[in-house]
Amino acid sequence: MPAAPPPDSPAPVRVERLRARIAGRPAAALEEPAGESLYQAVRRISALGVDDPEELARHLAGRPDGVLRAEAFRITREALRAGLLPAAAARTIVEGLARDVPDALGELAAPWAVLDPLPHGRMRRLLEAGPAGVAIEVAARHGHRDLLAGLAADPRREPALRRRCLELLGDLATREDVGEIVTTAARDPLLLAGPAVTCLAGLHRRGHFPAGRDVPAIVGLALADHGVPAGDLAVILYPRRHEALKELTAGDGNLPRRLDLLVALDEQGAPDLGIGDAITGLASVADDPAPHLRAIRRLRHAAAEETVLELLPRSPREALGALEAVGGTRTAAVLRDGLGLAGGDVVPHLRPFRHRALEILWHLGGDAGLRRTVLERLDPRDLPRRIADDLGGPDGRELAVLRANPDPGEPGAALRRLAANGDATTLPAIADLLLRVASEGGEPVPDEIVAAVAELGGRLLRRGALRPRCLLDAADAAEAGNALVADMVLGLLERPGLGPAERAALLDVLRRAPYRRARARVHRLLRDRDRHVRARAIAILALDGGDARALSASLVPLTAAGDAQTVRQAVLALAEAGADWAAPAIAGCLDHPNMNVK
């Protein structure tokens, strides 16, 4: 009988033999037909386990098989990262795979692949062949600004693709391109206004600001799409704030949106702009002043008090809200008369809002006799909340004694005592004591001092206090404490005659009390002559990545400052903001002579 044929080897054995043969002689990958055995064998081969990973990758990439081409990409990437394959050779292989291997196309956006940017023609072919969403990310990384701009302006393209192209232009465009960007967005503002603002924010971070002629178009986008945050637009418009103010006050269409933008612009820190006066003037002639009154409340524009009082009969609800923020002794007098406390009846426009008007009068009047008169008129079973919360407060005469005799040798102890027992009337004395503590000995202000002021802020909020105005921002006791500390410190920093050591010590206190209105008042200290003051101002801005991003154009030049403290804090702030756009400036700090900077 003839001999029986030898039995086939088990599949795992065949796969292992094939793996070993290909690892030793990569050309063997061309001899084996595509199939599961070859797939498994190649998957078991790593770049470190083959004699010539480049040869194997090229052979696999040349096969018209999606599985093998994907494995070619894997081996190429492993060899590159292991230092077995030069970047130029790896990119040639990866570029050839990019048309049908999505991961390969995405790899072309990696830092190693963009050192030698792809030419325009090859990049366009990749865009036509590969997934467009991945391809535009690669195009952005390789600097193809014109390609992205063309895609963003092409109405035949997918909406999501157009939006993303416009966003990506923020890292590539310059101030000369702003007009083209806003023109493109204006053709379909509901689709493209948001991405255009993202793009302009990217330009802003890099120090490319719009020209005055671009402001009307940018404002037009803001008015067309109310979904774009007013704060983001205010950051972009701030370098052209005078033109923006003129444009925003020139019409009355979309009035609430215009007012939102004006308030957001004011919050960037523009005291010279007169936004509060502009809105107050518009309110006095408006058919419906309610939106203006809400804006005045947000602005805390104390100079608007008289105008608000004139508008009280026309729009009592909103006017009372504004008076909570801007009212003073004149408001107290008007409300006293209007509520009939000086004789007579309650005026008609205050009757529906009597409780709220009484609360404002109670907290702004400040006179013990007036408070007694108010209490005599109130029903104990129906007390306004802010009045009920404030009953049983500190005795004013006792507080006057505490204020009049602080211990000159122990300002910290005097501050804690006054803060523990005080109310809003003691804040000026507490501020003076805080400055004395900050001026002593070059040591940081103790945490217990800061905590004492913060606890007073929490108590004032719980008692329904309307002053200081910073309490109106607070949602709870912790926020009220931070707001009071920050507002007090910011007020002290604006006093004339402070030395660098005092400013630095106060900024250290401010760093411990996050407050959203601080940025606008701290920004000027980035230009302070003292390096310690500059460094601490930067550290405060770094607490909020949004602040650092908004002020990136100011922070990037500080990475080249002449002192290590400023440079180090600028780098830390940019890092906190994730400022990849500042990578060249940060990389330049690697050559800094100070190791703390490196």
Residue 253: pLDDT band with limits 50, 70, 90: confident
Buried-exposed string 190-211: b where 16+ CB fall within 10 A, e elsewhere: ebbbbbbbbbbbbbbbbebbbe
Residue 514: pLDDT band with limits 50, 70, 90: very high
Residue 405 above 90 pLDDT? Answer: no
**Given its phi and psi angles, is residue 504 left (phi above 0), alpha (psi -120 to 50 degrees) or beta?**
alpha
- The confidence score (pLDDT) of residue 8 equals 60
Calculate ∠ Cα 305-311-315, nearest 5°. Answer: 120
Residue 259 above 80 pLDDT? Answer: yes
Contact 182, 214 (CB under 8 A): yes
pLDDT tens profile 185-201: 999 999 999 999 999 99
pLDDT tens profile 521-536: 998 998 899 999 999 9
Is there a domain that residue 264 lies in?
no
Report the pLDDT averaged over residues 526-553. 85
Report the pLDDT averaged over residues 277-293. 96
Residue 577: pLDDT band with limits 50, 70, 90: confident
Residue 9: pLDDT band with limits 50, 70, 90: low
Structure tokens at 57: 């990758």
Residue 235 above 80 pLDDT? Answer: yes
Max CA pair span of the chain: 133
Report the pLDDT averaged over residues 462-468. 96
Q: Which helix (H) or strand (E) holds 348?
A: none
Q: What's the rounded Cα separation, in Å, for the pair 230 and 263?
A: 9
Residue 406 above 50 pLDDT? Answer: yes
* Percentage of residues of the chain with pLDDT beyond 90: 73
Calculate ∠ Cα 57-59-62, nearest 5°. Answer: 105
Output the CA–CA distances (angstroms, integers) from residue 340 to 307, 330, 391, in the order listed.
Answer: 22, 16, 22
Is there a domain that residue 394 lies in?
no
Is there a domain that residue 456 lies in?
yes
Q: What's the rounded Cα separation, in Å, for the pair 543 and 534?
A: 15
- The confidence score (pLDDT) of residue 118 equals 94
Listed residues 71, 97, 123: the one ending a domain: 97
- The confidence score (pLDDT) of residue 409 equals 78
Listed residues 97, 127, 156: the one ending a domain: 97
- The confidence score (pLDDT) of residue 46 equals 93
Residue 442 above 80 pLDDT? Answer: no
pLDDT tens profile 337-386: 999 998 889 999 999 999 999 999 999 987 888 999 999 989 899 999 99
Report the pLDDT averaged over residues 140-149. 97
Is there a domain that residue 145 lies in?
no
Contact 574, 548 (CB under 8 A): yes
Listed residues 97, 116, 132: the one ending a domain: 97
CATH number at 558 reads: 1.25.10
What phi and psi values does residue 207 have, to the nearest 5 degrees? 85, 15
Is there a domain that residue 284 lies in?
no
pLDDT tens profile 197-219: 999 999 999 999 999 999 999 99
Calculate ∠ Cα 275-301-475, nearest 5°. Answer: 115
Residue 7: pLDDT band with limits 50, 70, 90: low
Structure tokens at 557: 């030049």
Structure tokens at 11: 């599949």
- The confidence score (pLDDT) of residue 4 equals 46
Q: What's the rounded Cα separation, in Å, for the pair 312 and 540?
A: 40
Read off the pTM: 0.89
Is there a domain that residue 362 lies in?
no
**Given its phi and psi angles, is residue 465 left (phi above 0), alpha (psi -120 to 50 degrees) or beta?**
beta
- The confidence score (pLDDT) of residue 454 equals 98
Residue 1: pLDDT band with limits 50, 70, 90: very low
Q: What's the rounded Cα separation, in Å, for the pair 100 and 186?
A: 36
Contact 331, 305 (CB under 8 A): yes
Count of residues for the chain? 598
Quick one: which of 195, 186, 204, 116 has its CA closest to 148?
Answer: 195
The residue with tokens 């008289």 is: 306
Residue 166 above 80 pLDDT? Answer: yes
Mean pLDDT of the chain: 92
Residue 271: pLDDT band with limits 50, 70, 90: confident
State how many domains the chain has.
Answer: 2
- The domain containing residue 560 runs over which residues? 405-591
Is there a domain that residue 223 lies in?
no
Residue 402: pLDDT band with limits 50, 70, 90: confident
- The confidence score (pLDDT) of residue 573 equals 85
For residue 590, give every residue at least 6 positions away whose Cβ sits within 8 Å of its Cβ, in sequence order, or none: 598
Is there a domain that residue 472 lies in?
yes
SS (H, E, C) 430-489: HHHHHHHHHCCCCCCCCHHHHHHHHHHHHHHHHCCCCCCHHHHHCCCHHHHHHHHHHHHH
